A and B are shown apart, each in its own frame.
Chain A
Amino acid sequence: AQTVTQSQPEMSVQEAETVTLSCTYDTSESDYYLFWYKQPPSRQMILVIRQEAYKQQNATENRFSVNFQKAAKSFSLKISDSQLGDAAMYFCAYRSARYGGSQGNLIFGKGTKLSVKP
């Protein structure tokens, strides 16, 4: 079974600085998707970024980028120019590329709480 591990329960960053959140995963599959979701105090789960395992290029979305290391099974999220609105829980998630049964479901890590200091 696949697992997702976020080893940093809490992180803190100064406004305008850069922070990197770590995520590792375990799978025997070669094709899959990885996601980062943000959950602010409102509780709403918001998709931040998506990475397809077959793509070598790291995904980027404005100030958010990932460092995807397939061999190391590592998927870290870098937030540049941190803003107060970035303060939230961040969840890393894995999804198999096979579709059928439970294989298409998301497997979440336990989250990292990010604080942004003004």
Chain B
Amino acid sequence: NAGVTQTPKFQVLKTGQSMTLQCAQDMNHNSMYWYRQDPGMGLRLIYYSASEGTTDKGEVPNGYNVSRLNKREFSLRLESAAPSQTSVYFCASSVQLYEQYFGPGTRLTVT
């Protein structure tokens, strides 16, 4: 069991470039999440998908879009990257009210 996987692990972008972060889980979880982690800020929710076919905004959605491709996959897209989006991004999944399981994270730097 791989759990939650994320690609890529590291990425450097120039301001204005776009990219998609990929996330997949093999635990048959209904819900999936994208967080960002900044120094001294803890984890903040960007978007979530309560179930296949639905997505909703979290605390910090501006500048991002998401796609719940199927039950396993949930991608995060930066259409025009900005230096303020430099962060570590985590994908997570869960079965409704139970604990969330996290991927290994993607360290993104925007110059």
Interface residues of A (CB under 8 A from B): 33, 35, 37, 42-47, 50, 91, 95, 97, 99-102, 104-106, 108-111
Contact = CB atoms under 8 A, between A and B. Distances in A.
B43 A44 contact: no
Contacts of B105: 43-44
Contact of A106 (B50, B88, B100, B104): B100
Contacts of A104: 31, 50, 94, 96-97
A45 B90 contact: yes
Contact of B97 (A33, A37, A110, A111): A33
Interface residues of B, number: 25
Consensus secondary structure, chain A interface:
mixed
A37 B90 CA distance: 14
Contact of B42 (A95, A101, A105, A111): A111
B98 to A, nearest CB: 8
Nearest to A111: B42
B82 interface: no
B56 A102 contact: yes
A96 B60 CA distance: 19
A102 B58 contact: yes
Given A43-B88, A102-B48, A108 B42 contact: yes
B41 interface: yes
A4 B13 CA distance: 33
Contacts of B48: 102, 105
Given A91-B42, A110-B42, A47 B56 contact: no
Contacts of A108: 42-44
